[in-house]
Amino acid sequence: MKVLVLDTNTLLRFLLDDVLSQTKEIRKKIELAKLGKIKLVVPQIVVFEIVYALTKEYGFKIEEVIGVLRRLLINKDLQIQDEDIFEQTLRIFSKKLSLADCFIYFFAKKNNAELFTFDKNLQKAFRATSL
C-alpha cells in the first residue's frame, strides 16, 4: 500500500479550505485513504506547526485551535504520530499551558519516565494538576 506523509501546508489547506485546488487534492487523498487504497501519515511535528500557523499567522484563539486539533484526531483516515499523547495533551492545553509542555509531560508519563525540567511554571502546573 502506498504511504503518503502529509506536511503542514497540506493539512492547513484541508482545514482552512482556502486554496480550492489544493483543498480538492487533499480531499481526494483522504477519500482514497478512507477506501483503504493509501495510508496518510501525519508526523507529530506537523501538529505543532499547525498550532503555530493557526495562532501566529491566522490569528486563531487557543479554543479554536483545540477544535481544529480535535477534528484532526477524530479523523480515522489520518494516522497521526503519537495520537494518544495528543488526545491527553488537549485536555491540559485548554488550560493555557503550551502544547509542547503538555506533550512532553504526557510523553514522559506514557514512557513511565519522570519529567525533568528547570521550568518553574511547568513544575508548578503539573504538581497542581491531577493528571
CB atoms within 10 A of CB 46: 21
Torsion of CA 110, 74, 94, 66, to 10 degrees: 130
Q: 81 near 41, Cβ under 8 Å?
A: yes
Cell reading at 3: 504511504
H/E element, 3 = strand 2-5
**18-73 residue pLDDT tens:** 999 999 999 999 999 999 999 999 999 999 999 999 999 999 999 999 999 999 99
| Helices (runs of H) and strands (runs of E) counted in the chain | 7, 3
pLDDT value of position 20:
94
Distance of CA 60 to the CA centre of its chain: 15
Amino acid at 81: Q
pLDDT value of position 117:
87
Give the global pTM.
Answer: 0.89
